[in-house]
Amino acid sequence: MGSERFDFNDPVWDQSRYIGRFKYFAWITDPRLNFVPSRCLDQAKNLRTLYIQKREPPGTTREQLLYAKKLYDSAFHPDSGEKMNIFGRMSFQVPGGMLITGAMLSWYRTIPALVF
Phi, psi of 76 (to 5 degrees): -115, 140
Tell me the sheet residues that pair with 76: 83
In a domain, 6, yes or no: no
Beta strands in 51-114 (DSSP E): none
Going by pLDDT thresholds of 50, 70 and 90, the confidence category of residue 27 is very high
C-alpha to C-alpha distance for 11 and 8, rounded to whole angstroms: 8
Give the structural domain span for 54: 18-115
In a domain, 1, yes or no: no
Per-residue pLDDT, averaged over 19-25, amounts to 95
Q: What is the pLDDT of residues 45-90, one digit of tens each?
A: 999 999 999 999 999 999 999 999 999 999 999 899 899 999 989 8
In a domain, 12, yes or no: no
CA separation (Å) from 48 to 18, 38, 40, 41, 116?
Answer: 27, 15, 12, 11, 53
pTM of the model: 0.79
